[in-house]
Homo-oligomer: A and B are copies of this chain.
């Protein structure tokens, strides 16, 4: 089998992580979600906590005021930018190691020039996601809706700030699916079908 890299962008609560995890398990290849932060921290000299604080967000009220970067990228860049660049570097390095699945963190953009990448976006209507998050976390409808809207806004802002693409624009992904129709298993089937059509599976 040739190298196969799948990037999965996802609306909060859509089950995109679960689809990515099931796919990685089925293909027996590594899954990188939060693990991207660990990898970025390991290579950068910055703490994992710093990466966590800025994970898929443009700024953190806690840390933003603290520091400008002091790294390879020069002393002038603000810390969030440096941490983002370190994550981009980690994604590129992990992709070089072989087949894998990335979740979020602009991996589709970072790896856009590679021919062995299939980029996927998983979404679902708000109502379906509210139901899923209520069931999973045992929180109220209102709390779930607030969490979803806030999380999606953060992800969209992060994506748009650090790339010149629009988060969730169909034309920047190879495949976008509504998981309220496919379910988790069906989502995996759709991605596998697309991989097969492209000789990536």
Contact = CB atoms under 8 A, between A and B. Distances in A.
Interface residues of A, number: 24
Contact of A193 (B123, B173, B193, B198): B193
A50 interface: no
B174 A173 contact: no
Quickly give the copy total for this chain.
2
A86 to B, nearest CB: 28
A152 to B, nearest CB: 10
A159 to B, nearest CB: 13
A11 interface: yes
B198 A181 contact: yes
Contacts of A189: 193, 197
Interface in A162-201: 168-171, 173-178, 181-183, 186, 189-190, 193-194, 197-198
Interface in A1-42: 11
Chain A at the B interface: mostly helix, strand, loop or mixed? Answer: mixed
Given A181-B198, A194-B181, A198-B181, A176 B170 contact: yes
Nearest to A11: B171
Contacts of A170: 121, 123, 168-170, 173, 176
Contacts of A190: 175, 190, 193-194, 197
B175 A177 contact: yes
Contacts of A171: 11, 123, 168, 178
Contacts of A193: 189-190, 193
Interface of A: 11, 118, 121, 123, 168-171, 173-178, 181-183, 186, 189-190, 193-194, 197-198
24 contacts: A118-B181, A121-B170, A121-B176, A168-B169, A168-B171, A169-B170, A170-B170, A170-B173, A173-B176, A173-B178, A174-B177, A174-B178, A174-B181, A175-B175, A175-B176, A176-B176, A181-B194, A181-B197, A182-B197, A182-B198, A183-B197, A186-B197, A189-B193, A190-B197
